[in-house]
Amino acid sequence: MVGSVTDPGLGPAAEPGRAPAADAERPPAAEPGRPPAADAERALPADAERVPVAEFDRATVAGATAALRPCCAAARWADQLVAGRPYRTLGALAAASDTAIAALDWPDIEEALAAHPRIGDRPDGPGRDAAWSRQEQAGTSTAGPGAQAALRSGNAEYEARFGHVFLICAAGLRASDMLIALHGRLGHDPAAEREAVRDELRKITALRLGKTFR
């Protein structure tokens, strides 16, 4: 993890009679002919509690991009947010995310959609995005067989009409709420539905940014 916000090079003081722990925390020296391991020192953690935005601001491009990826899989969105640093606050980062998503082309949105499971399908992968999908779709886990069958049928009808998964910010919704939204959106023309998808992606991404940064 990147060091403390105030001074990334400082660690806790050594206890009397004990050697400082700096050597244990310092990455190994670079091999001859290879650059120092600065990128490794300043890369963001893949799994940890929320990271201060100040650390994201000063992380390497690779580290910052990796921290964003579970929030939204659109590469152009991540590139724009990384290039726009520093943000200093979560509010500024979230506002920049909203602006970036509003400017994405449809192929970028499709790239993000590819990382989202169908409503009712609970991914079992170990990644943060899979864990968040399970949390966000918790309302489907207690749905009865009838509601589960209706979700499967609705997903199939939606995908046949629009050619991509039904995306909804499912956090806090019951299966019945999701079904109502799904059937309502089946009445959209393709252009209107693309804008509905963009707005749901914006809400999901904002939620996940709040789980990642502080």
Residue with tokens 């996940």: 208
Is position 25 within any domain?
no
Displacement of CA 57 from its chain's centroid (Å): 17
Backbone angles phi, psi at 67, to 5 degrees: -70, -30
Q: How many domains in the chain? A: 1
In total, the chain counts a number of residues equal to 214
Helical spans, DSSP H, in 103-144: 106-113, 128-136, 138-141
Residues 186, 196: Cα–Cα separation, whole Å? 11
CA gap 108, 75 in Å, rounded: 7
Q: Residue 119 is part of a domain; what is its CATH number?
A: 1.10.3330.10
Cα dihedral 9→12→15→18 (10° resolution): -40
Specify if 118 maps to a domain.
yes
Confirm whether 116 is a catalytic residue: yes
| Residue 190 forms part of a structural domain | yes
Sign for the CA dihedral angle at 60, 62, 65, 70 comes to negative
Burial classification of residue 109, based on how many CB atoms lie within 10 Å of its CB (0-12 exposed, 13-18 middle, 19 or more buried)? buried
Q: What is the pTM of this model?
A: 0.73
- List 116, 164, 183, 188, catalytic entry: 116
Could you list the residue range(s) of the whole structural domain that residue 117 is in?
48-204
Please give the helix or strand (H or E) that residue 22 lies within, else none.
helix 22-25
Query: Is 14 domain-assigned?
Result: no
Q: Over its length of 214 residues, how does the chain's per-residue pLDDT go in tens digits?
A: 333 333 332 233 333 344 433 333 333 343 334 333 333 334 454 445 899 999 999 999 999 999 999 999 999 999 999 999 999 999 999 999 999 999 999 999 999 999 998 888 766 666 776 666 666 676 676 778 898 899 999 999 999 999 999 999 988 889 999 999 999 999 999 999 999 999 999 999 999 999 999 9
